Amino acid sequence: MAVVLVLVLIVVGSVLFHFLSPWWWTPIASNWDYIDHTIIISFWITGIVFAAVVLFMAYCVFRFRHREGNRATYEPENKRLESWLMIVTAFGVTALLVPGLFVWSRFVTVPSDATEIEVVAQQWQWSFRLPGKDGKLGTSDTRDVTADNPLGVAPKDPNGQDDVLVEAADLHLPVGKPVKVLLRSIDVLHDFYIPEFRAKMDMIPGSVTYFWFTPIRTGTFQVLCAELCGQGHPLMHGVVVVDTEQDYLAWLGQQQTFAQLSAPPQSGSANQPPGKIIASSLGVAANSKLSRSAQ
């Protein structure tokens, strides 16, 4: 009989936990509240099913537990019941899927007025590139990566010369403007993930992936890497600051372009060798790797 009690407690406890516990998603900061709504729908449908199945089971165990002289009924199947259950299930699943696919089609359709920006990942830091005055990002190639050109921007491409590079520093974005985030990696898989924005996507060396969103409130948000990328993975944080238009322009004015950065003689501090930042935080482990790869 303890089972019956525990089964009921599991349902009640899980529901209470869901509503009362302090652990819930972070306040949203992008247009993807659609996703949150879909999650809420999913919670309702699945929650009801879970409670129904487990409570029904508890009832069965309570009602039909073995007592002296009991005998089970002989009931091989019940076509009607089974068909009904199948139909109801199919209906529930459709109710989950349809809104989901609807939101997905928004997710994969980038609005035409979205600004392209680029995020470049490497073990284990984030860099960013914004289009310059011409509004276009220059092409890039991992093969073009050198100590002076850590992001691998194609040196010959005129579109790339005025691109703004933000190497291993914070990215700023203006609030309310849709952005298409182009994602690139020069070594392994990474994943650009900001919990408050809800969206994420892997970055794959050798190709460019993307997603889009519109920041809807100002603030400072932490970037997390969400794809295992080696031992520095848990420390691969970054910062995205969503600014008002004015603050954003002020910040943009202080950034340097590709042409400025690659023009000799070097100025600024942006051309650290890759890996240096993480080396300090990972201590000995990464240093030994560094010295090994330097040999």
Partner 1 sequence: MVDVTPADAIPPAEVGEVELYHPHSWWTKYVFSQDAKVIAVQYSATATAIGLVALVLSWLMRLQLGFPGTFDFITPEAYYQFITMHGMIMVIYLLTALFLGGFGNYLIPLMVGARDMVFPYVNMLSYWVYLLAVLVLVSSFFAPGGPTGAGWTLYPPQAIMSGTPGGQDWGIILMLSSLILFIVGFTMGGLNYVVTVLQGRTRGMTLMRLPLTVWGIFTATVMALLAFPALFVACVMMLLDRVLGTSFFMPAIVEMGAQLQHNGGSPILFQHLFWFFGHPEVYIVALPAFGIVSDLISTHARKNIFGYRMMVWAILAIGALSFVVWAHHMYVSGMNPYFGFFFATTTLIIAVPTAIKVYNWVLTLWRGDIHLTLPMLFALAFIVTFVNGGLTGLFLGNVVVDVPLSDTMFVVAHFHMVMGVAPILVIFGAIYHWYPKVTGRMLDETLGKFHFWVTFVGAYLIFFPMHYLGLMGVPRRYAELTDMTIMTESARHLNSFISIMAFTVGFAQMVFLFNLIWSIRHGRGAGGNPWRATTLEWQTPQTPPAHGNFGKELPIVYRWAYDYSVPGAKEDFIPQNVPGDFAPSREPA
Question: Binding pattern to partner 1, positions 60-89, x when CB under 8 A?
Answer: xx--xxx---xxxxxxxxx--xx--xx--x
DSSP state of 117: E
DSSP three-state, residue 113: coil
Q: Does residue 119 touch Cu ion according to CB under 5 A? A: no
Q: Which is nearer to partner 1, 89 or 267 (CB)?
A: 89
From partner 1, Cu ion, none, interface partner of 111 (C-beta below 5 to 8 A by class): none
- Taking the C-alpha atoms of residue 196 and residue 216, their distance in angstroms, rounded to an integer, is 11
Q: Does residue 20 touch partner 1 according to CB under 8 A? A: no
Sign of the torsion angle spanned by Cα atoms 195, 179, 220, 225:
positive
**Which residues from 240-269 bind partner 1, rule CB under 8 A?**
none
Q: Does residue 33 touch partner 1 according to CB under 8 A? A: no
Part of the chain binding partner 1 (CB under 8 A), chosen from 101-109, 129-137, 164-172, 252-260: 101-109
Say if residues 26 and 194 touch (Cβ distance below 8 Å). no
Q: Which is nearer to Cu ion, 10 or 224 (CB)?
A: 224
Part of the chain binding partner 1 (CB under 8 A), chosen from 90-98, 131-139, 161-169, 240-248: 90-98
Min. distance of Cβ 139 from partner 1 in angstroms? 14
Min. distance of Cβ 75 from Cu ion in angstroms? 34
Q: Does residue 270 touch partner 1 according to CB under 8 A? A: no
Type of residue found at 147: A
Say if residues 200 and 137 touch (Cβ distance below 8 Å). no
Question: Binding pattern to Cu ion, positions 180-199, x when CB under 5 A?
Answer: ----------x---------
Beta bridge partners of 222: 239
- Taking the C-alpha atoms of residue 43 and residue 61, their distance in angstroms, rounded to an integer, is 26
**Which residues from 167-186 bind partner 1, rule CB under 8 A?**
183, 186
CA dihedral 233, 26, 169, 181 (to 10 degrees): 90
- Taking the C-alpha atoms of residue 262 and residue 150, their distance in angstroms, rounded to an integer, is 10
Of the candidates 151, 156, 148, 143, the one whose C-alpha atom is nearest the C-alpha of residue 118 is: 151
Q: Does residue 225 touch Cu ion according to CB under 5 A? A: yes
Q: Which is nearer to partner 1, 39 or 250 (CB)?
A: 39
Say if residues 23 and 190 touch (Cβ distance below 8 Å). no
Part of the chain binding Cu ion (CB under 5 A), chosen from 19-27, 102-110, 157-165, 234-242: 234-242
Among 12, 33, 44, 46, binds partner 1 (CB under 8 A): 46
Min. distance of Cβ 246 from partner 1 in angstroms? 25
- Taking the C-alpha atoms of residue 237 and residue 239, their distance in angstroms, rounded to an integer, is 7
- Taking the C-alpha atoms of residue 279 and residue 294, their distance in angstroms, rounded to an integer, is 13
Beta bridge partners of 117: 181
**Which residues from 192-221 bind partner 1, rule CB under 8 A?**
193, 195-196, 198-207, 209, 221
- Summarize as ranges the residues that interact with Cu ion (CB under 5 A): 190, 225, 229, 233, 236
